[in-house]
């Protein structure tokens, strides 16, 4: 029982504060990689130049995939599996191992990339302070709901900062066939003038190759571990989550399994790769150049709502208790369509409405 002493103390301390439980549950929902994608990244593609928004998406995708691969390696237990005395909430019962924390790692990586691509050093310093505070709040919420240990959220934060910084590096951008200019990061309205019209900020094929490589590597690791252990790690973690969840099997979420996370990351990269095709990107550029402020404001409100509705539709159609393989395929298709939809259609419509 001593292994959960820190987690028990967090629940006792913050549980005594009025409204803290509702607030921390809200924080952990907002910190979910899926909702960071549907709301945060959608707004990035509506408000920021294509290159800066793409770097944030790369940080999201790479950190989520790396997190899933590490979970298979470490196979860390979640607190609610081991400590029945911990209070469980409606969102506690997640499948997939716990080391490191995905919510903390992915949120930290995405927001770090957002900050490092900020136009001025002064805004970077202010925003980095905000990122550290937000990362700490997400880490606290994950420990409070008994989804992660203190060590798991700490490692997630450290790795998140590292992956976010790498996603902003010129070495990765060059590897994906991109070219960098200061204007593409700093001046959204001058994006069209930053490069020739025929130039693309990143290669569509490179994104598809990266997405395919992530899936191939994950399947090889999964096959190796399944052979060594005699069972898929995702099935092991799901069974343990069912045993530990006091609310019952129907409350255990398959969508939090590592294989599902990896496939949704690859799907997002494939969806983004379509936006990098000339026929889409040229109209995307025109929409950014020609639309009025009113049109931009309207699409910034509509886009997250549409993408969130699309995700809710997928989750309504597909039950949480489907097999991990089916959940992975659905995750790939879901995020491929949403990655294309969150930036493409409304930006293109903006050109015609201007």
* Average pLDDT of the residues of the chain: 77
pLDDT tens digits along 18-76: 888 889 999 998 888 888 887 777 777 777 777 788 888 899 999 999 999 999 999 88
Nearest C-alpha neighbor of 114 from the set 176, 41, 175: 41
Task: List residues bridging with 96 in a β-sheet.
Answer: none
What's the length of the chain? 354
pLDDT band at 10 (very low <50, low <70, confident <90, very high): confident
> pLDDT value at position 142?
93
Cα 171 to Cα 224: distance, rounded to the nearest angstrom: 30
pLDDT tens digits along 231-267: 888 888 888 888 888 877 767 776 667 888 888 888 8
pLDDT tens digits along 159-176: 999 999 998 888 887 777
Q: Determine what percent of the chain is predicted with pLDDT higher than 90.
A: 18
Sequence-ordered alpha helix ranges (H) in the chain: 5-15, 20-30, 33-35, 42-47, 50-74, 79-82, 102-116, 121-144, 150-167, 170-175, 182-186, 191-194, 204-229, 233-244, 258-275, 278-290, 293-317, 324-353
**Single pTM value for the model:** 0.82
pLDDT band at 294 (very low <50, low <70, confident <90, very high): low
């Amino acid at each position: 029982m001593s292994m959960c002493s820190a987690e028990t103390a967090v629940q006792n301390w913050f549980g005594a504060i009025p409204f803290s439980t509702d607030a921390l549950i809200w924080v952990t929902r907002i910190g979910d990689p899926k909702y960071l994608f549907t709301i945060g990244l959608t707004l990035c593609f509506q408000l920021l130049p294509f290159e800066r928004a793409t770097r944030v998406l790369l940080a999201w995708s790479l950190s989520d995939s790396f997190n899933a691969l590490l979970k298979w390696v470490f196979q860390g237990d979640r607190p609610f599996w081991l400590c029945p005395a911990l209070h469980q909430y409606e969102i506690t019962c997640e499948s997939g191992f716990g080391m490191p924390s995905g919510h903390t790692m992915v949120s930290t990586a995405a927001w770090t990339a957002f900050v490092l691509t900020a136009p001025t050093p002064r805004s970077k310093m202010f925003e980095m302070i905000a990122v550290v505070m937000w990362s700490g709040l997400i880490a606290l919420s994950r420990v409070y709901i008994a989804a992660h240990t203190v060590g798991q959220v700490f490692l997630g934060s450290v790795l998140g900062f590292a992956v976010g910084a790498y996603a902003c590096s010129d070495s990765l951008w060059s590897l994906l066939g991109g070219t960098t200019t200061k204007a593409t990061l700093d001046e959204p309205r001058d994006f069209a003038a930053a490069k020739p019209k025929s130039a693309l900020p990143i290669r569509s094929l490179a994104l598809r190759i990266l997405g395919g490589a992530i899936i191939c590597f994950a399947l090889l690791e999964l096959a190796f571990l399944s052979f060594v252990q005699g069972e898929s790690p995702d099935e092991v973690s799901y069974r343990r989550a069912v045993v530990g969840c006091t609310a019952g099997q129907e409350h255990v979420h398959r969508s939090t399994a590592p294989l599902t996370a990896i496939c949704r990351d690859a799907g997002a990269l494939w969806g983004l790769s379509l936006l990098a095709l000339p026929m889409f990107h040229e109209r995307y550029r025109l929409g950014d150049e020609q639309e009025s402020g009113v049109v931009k404001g309207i699409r910034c409100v509509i886009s997250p709502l549409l993408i969130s509705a699309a995700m809710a539709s997928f989750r309504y159609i597909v039950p949480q208790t489907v097999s991990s393989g089916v959940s992975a395929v659905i995750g790939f298709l879901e995020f491929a369509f949403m990655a294309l939809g969150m930036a493409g259609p409304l930006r293109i419509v903006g050109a015609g409405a201007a």
